[in-house]
Structures are given as structure tokens and as C-alpha cells.
Amino acid sequence: MTNNRQKIRFFRERIPSFACTPGCHDCCGPVTTSSEEMSRLPVKTEAEHAAALAELSCPHLGANGCTVYAERPLICRLFGTTPSLPCPNGQQPLQMTDPQVEREIHRFFAETRQVLV
């Protein structure tokens, strides 16, 4: 794992997915992400960012949920898959994210430049 893109791919493969409660967007608040992950998301205007922040939301949250779900940042993928980031509705995957992987992801967050989504 020599570069950040490889690390992101490695981590994505190790975070389990699960079905969210339809219509719930409680985890879709303002989050930060690495510059690498941000570069994969559609560019939003300053006004779109400001409006989302005023609502304590994400600029990529649409009427039907996350508009960038396939490319959502690691932090978004972690919500509901670890005891430290539980789903407010009690949803979770059959098997939670391995604690060692979670620690490695948090280390990645601390070691990389994070920007507001």
C-alpha cells in the first residue's frame, strides 16, 4: 500500500455494507474526506456547499439519498459498521468492520489532508 489511492481501495474492500432505513439521512451531515476521495466527487458550487452546511447536511445528498453513493468517502462507509459510529436506527452489517481496519482508517485520516465535503 504505497499510495493513498491504493490505501483507499484497500479500506473500501474491507468495510462491509448494509441496507439503510429508507428515507433516513441521519449520517449525511458535514464530513471531511481526503483530497484523493474529494477529487472523485462532482464539484459543487460555493453556494451549494454553504446551503448544505447551513442545513448540517452534505452537498451530495439529494431527494432520494446520496447522489455519489458508489464513490462516497471512507467516513461515510464507516457509519453503521463500527461500534464507534453506530447507525441511529440500529442498522448494521452482519459482520462489523474489523477493529484493526478501523484503527488503520482513522490513522489514514490523521495522516492525510482532510477537506470538507
Q: What is the pLDDT of residues 67-107, one digit of tens each?
A: 999 999 999 999 999 999 999 999 999 999 999 999 999 99
In this predicted structure, the answer to whether residue 1 has a pLDDT above a threshold of 60 is: no
In this predicted structure, the answer to whether residue 111 has a pLDDT above a threshold of 70 is: yes
Query: Kind of pairing, strands 114-116 and 65-66?
Result: unpaired
Write down the pLDDT at residue 117. Answer: 94
Percent of the chain scoring above 70 in pLDDT: 98
Instruction: Pick left, alpha or beta for residue 68 (phi over 0 → left; psi -120 to 50 → alpha; otherwise beta).
Output: alpha
pTM of the model: 0.92
**115 neighbors 33 (Cβ within 8 angstroms):** yes
Write down the pLDDT at residue 6. Answer: 95
Q: How would DSSP label each residue in 70-109?
A: GG--HHHHHTTSBTTB--TT----SSPPPHHHHHHHHHHH
Write down the pLDDT at residue 62. Answer: 93
Write down the pLDDT at residue 2. Answer: 60
Write down the pLDDT at residue 15. Answer: 98
